[in-house]
Structure 1
Amino acid sequence: MTGECAIALRIWLSSAGAATTQVIRMLRDNPDATPVRIYGTNVDRGAAALAACDVAEVEPRRVDNHTYAEFALDFCRRHGIDVLVPPRRLDALAGRADDFAAVGTRLMCSSPAAIDVLTSKSRTYEVAAAIGVPVPEWRVVRDAEGLRAAVDDLAGAGETVCIKPAGEYSAFGFRILDDSPLSMRDLLEPARPLVSVNAVADALKRAADAREKVPAFLVMPYLEGPEVSVDCLSTPDGRLLAGIARAKEGRYRLLLDDPVYPEIAERLVSHFELAYLSNVQLRHRNGRPMLLEANPRPSAGIFQTAFAGVNLPWAAVRLLLSGDPGPLPVPRLGGRVAVTETATEVPAGALAVAGG
């Protein structure tokens, strides 16, 4: 792949979130100087990332896997997409790689088997523990009685417990369980995702009484910071080519020069045979790193790895298309990056996307 290519490479970034604009910049400023044309979609026609794309459309909202996959295939067919990089709806797309190939699109996605396990946090923990990856204690609950039993079981002296959906909901649904009364200090500090055990138990009971569908929830100790995110680039059979760990410290990100985090990520990537871009998140318990979650997709913050001197998104595109990620420089680690807000001018009519 070289800059001599006269026809732009057509890359579709589906479910384009706010951080997608930074990834677009990395793809356009690729080290091969290959011209690219960026296509973006989102369920929200007002999503700001769509304004940074060359072509933007609206995705269908709340549709089943078959309907979403048919939409994606039609999109690729209509636009002649070369590469599809999906951060969401992986369970709808992974099993259709041959169908995408038939319309000329290479799908950047791990295997359906890996995605099936990793979209369940409880099953992920079971497998991770079996291969020697440190995981916290956890309990799966679906009702008020199970919640109270799990909290009684896990909440030791001074132990803080949290709850989150066991499926793939990103950070949505995460709450710290705290029954202590609010103080004036609590009211004057930035809000935290706190909720009482009684409030959650009541919500579960009301849902059960109304015969609502209640997903499985995970109850576990609230792990200590800092949260560490390892962005991974790997071959289709799960051989790790690069793993860059970054720790969150308020508005800063530390590019960690500590092999313990990439080593944990490598064990998971290898076992699940994760392909191209994936992400492993860890926190700590008594100073020991513990698995928070493993994602068979790129993280929203993958663009921060650019400050380590490595263009992971472009290396993944090269690897997908040619089997060669290109030269991978030794990452510059140990640095500190400030995460700040930026403003981007939007041309008039840029958000008048097609569809919907």
Structure 2
Amino acid sequence: MLRDNPDAVDVRIYGTNVQRDAPALAACDVGEPEPRYVGDADYAAFALDFCRRHAIDVLVPPRRLAALAGRTGEFADIGTRVMCSPPAAVDVLTSKGRTYEAARAAGVPVPPWRVVSDADQFLTAVEELAADTAGERLCVKPAGEFSAFGFRILDDRPLRLKDLLAAPLPLASVASVAGAMRRAADEGEAVPEFLVMPYLEGPEISVDCLSAPGGAMIAGIARSKQGRYRHLLDDPALVAIARRLVGHFRLAYLSNVQLRHRAGRPVLLEANPRPSAGIFQTAFSGLNLPWAAVRLLLTGDPGTLPVPRLGGRIAVTESVLEVAPGRPATHPEPALLPEPAAVLPEQAVRPDPVHLTPAAATAAAAG
């Protein structure tokens, strides 16, 4: 989406990953390894050096935001603009418990939850939520930034034959989770905070958001996930929830709000002050959110955005790419995408030129 931008600007993309031959680097013109298991100060030093060496104009960090959000001035001194929300927002949103507290105070609907960090707290939370949620299944997951790692549905029922014949689920018994926490504590291992809450079944809804510094939302595309299919939803109520949250946290540029339904009502699942991994799917709406965010960061103007095409369904498929051992693959030819259902007029999708200098057309994505 950055390469095929509506301003026809030639973009050069740099990427880093802890694995030198990570497939994500195949999309980059230049790929380099980045340090693994380092603190925030060391990671920021690496990022500053990388941007200085490569004369990076725009840094789009999808992780390690806590290491970079408070150092935008240092990057600006070397000519790099960092696409990042304020440090205060990053600090809150990296904790799901504090996210729920702040969101509830802002009037955003949230599910009931408990934050626990030992076996006794966990057992108490399960007991309380089981009593308060009228028999809803519960789940547990790390309260910090762990993506989907650590997520378990709590299930004490005995294994049945139909369970063996169905697709596997991330199940764990209450006793086994409590036992893991207790053993870790006994062995002196640090136990991070976990979140216990109802397991929200049904499609996950992801709202990709573009907003100006200060939290004014410019565009939001809601999509639901069902297997390999994604639905581009025409539901203003979902975008309104995201708008309230983005404004409350003053999120800037690209962010992502995830929702699920509980008793027929959308509630917050989590919010991320960074672009989502699935933002490429919004291309089928006719909007180029990544490029609009780059324009907004560099010029203060996202450009003319067309009215999005909503209500359609797309499929996420796989492709195969050979990656040479020990180094990133060369940039592949772009995959052929299906034609959109309707073609918008040229003037609706191509704003006036952004007048970027050649140096301003480079972008880095730490992926």
Same fold at TM > 0.5: yes
Tell me which residue corresponds to 1:123. 98
Other-structure match for 1:105: 80
2:217 paired residue among 213, 218, 240: 240
Aligned to 2:187: 210
Tell me how far apart the structure 1 counterparts of residues 146 and 76 of structure 2 sit (CA, whole Å).
Answer: 29
Distance 1:330 1:80 in 2: 35
Task: Say if 2:138 and 2:196, in contact at 8 Å, map to a contact too.
Answer: yes
How much does 1:348 deviate? 8.8
1:51–1:350 contact (8 Å) kept in structure 2:
no
The answer (yes or no) to whether the contact 2:20–2:326 under 8 Å persists in 1 is: no
Whether 2:38 is the aligned partner of 1:28: answer no
Instruction: Tell whether 2:292 aligns with 1:327.
Output: no
1:345 Cα shift? 5.0
State, as a whole percentage, how many aligned pairs show the same letter: 73
Q: Distance in 2 between matches of 1:102 and 1:214?
A: 39
- The answer on whether the counterparts of 2:228 and 2:317 sit within 8 Å (CA) in structure 1 is yes
Aligned partners of 1:232 and 1:244 also within 8 Å: yes
**d(CA) in 1 for partners of 2:178 and 2:325?**
49
Q: Deviations over 1:79-128 (max 9, x none)?
A: 00010000000000000000000011000000000001111111110111
Judging changes above 3 Å, is the alpha-carbon distance between structure 1 residues 259 and 199 closer, same or farther for their aligned structure 2 residues? same
**Corresponding residue to 1:300 among 255, 262, 277:** 277
Query: What amino acid sits opposite 2:163 in the alignment?
Result: D
**Whole-angstrom distance in 2 between the partners of 1:226 and 1:260:** 16
2:43 alignment partner in structure 1: 68
- Cα displacement (A) at 1:46: 2.2
- For the residue of structure 2 that corresponds to 1:304, the secondary structure is helix
2:349 aligned residue: none
Rounded Cα–Cα distance in structure 1 between residues aligned with 2:234 and 2:274: 23
- Cα contact 2:83–2:253 (8 A) shared by 1: yes
* Runs of 4+, deviation exceeding 3 Å: 344-350
CA distance in 1, matches of 2:279, 2:328: 25
Letter in 2 for 1:257: D
Higher relative contact order (CA 8 A, sep 6+): 2
CA distances 1:266-290 after superposition (whole Å, capped 9, x unpaired): 0010011100000000001101000
The 3-state SS of whatever aligns with 1:241 is strand
Q: Does 1:281 align with 2:258?
A: yes
Which residue identity does 1:242 align to in structure 2?
A: A
Q: Which runs of 5+ in 1 are unaligned?
A: 1-25
Letter in 1 for 2:19: D
Give the match for residue 95 of structure 1.
70
Out of 132, 154, 158, the residue aligned to residue 135 of structure 2 is 158
Partners of 2:68 and 2:174 in 1: CA distance: 37
* Residue 50 (structure 1) aligns with: 25
CA distance in structure 2 between the partners assigned to 1:74 and 1:350 by the alignment: 20
Q: Does 1:146 align with 2:146?
A: no
Residue of structure 2 in register with 1:19 after alignment: none
For the residue of structure 2 that corresponds to 1:223, the secondary structure is coil
Paired position in structure 2 for 1:17? none
- Residue 147 of structure 2: SS of its match in structure 1? coil
Q: Secondary structure at the match of 2:283?
A: helix
C-alpha displacement of 1:168? 1.2
Q: How far off is 1:179 after superposition?
A: 0.6
Counterpart amino acid of residue 95 in structure 2: S
Q: Identify the residue that residue 268 of structure 1 maps to in structure 2.
A: 245
SS in 1 for 2:203: strand
- Alignment partner for residue 309 of structure 1, among 279, 286, 291? 286
Match for 2:64: what amino acid?
Answer: R
Q: Residue 84 of structure 2 aligns to which amino acid in structure 1?
A: C
Return the match for 2:148 from 171, 183, 206.
171
- Which shifted more, 304-313 or 180-189? 180-189
- TM-score (normalizing by structure 1): 0.90
Q: Which of residues 316, 321, 336 in structure 2 aligns to 1:344?
A: 321
Aligned partner of residue 155 in structure 1, secondary structure: helix
Q: Which amino acid aligns with 1:143?
A: D
Q: Once the 2 structures are TM-superposed, how far is the Cα of residue 226 of structure 1 from its aligned partner?
A: 1.5
Secondary structure in 2 matching 1:208: helix
1:133 aligns with 2:105: no
CA contact under 8 A between 2:25 and 2:329: conserved in structure 1?
no
Worse overlay, 77-86 or 167-176: 167-176
Residue 357 of structure 2: aligned partner: none
State the one-letter code of the partner of 1:351: P
Amino acid at match of 1:88: R
CA distance in structure 1 between the partners assigned to 2:130 and 2:198 by the alignment: 8
- In structure 2, runs of 5+ residues without a counterpart are 331-367
Shift of 1:182: 1.0
How many Å separate the matches in 1 of 2:87 and 2:76? 16
Residue 323 of structure 1, CA deviation: 0.5
Aligned-partner SS, 1:27: coil
The match for 1:12 is none
State the Cα deviation string for residues 201-220 of structure 1 (Å, max 9, x = none): 01000111011111110000
Q: Which amino acid aligns with 1:142?
A: S
Q: Tell whether the 8 Å contact from 2:322 to 2:329 is kept in structure 1 after alignment.
A: no
SS of the aligned residue for 1:180 comes to coil
CA distance in 1, matches of 2:152, 2:327: 37
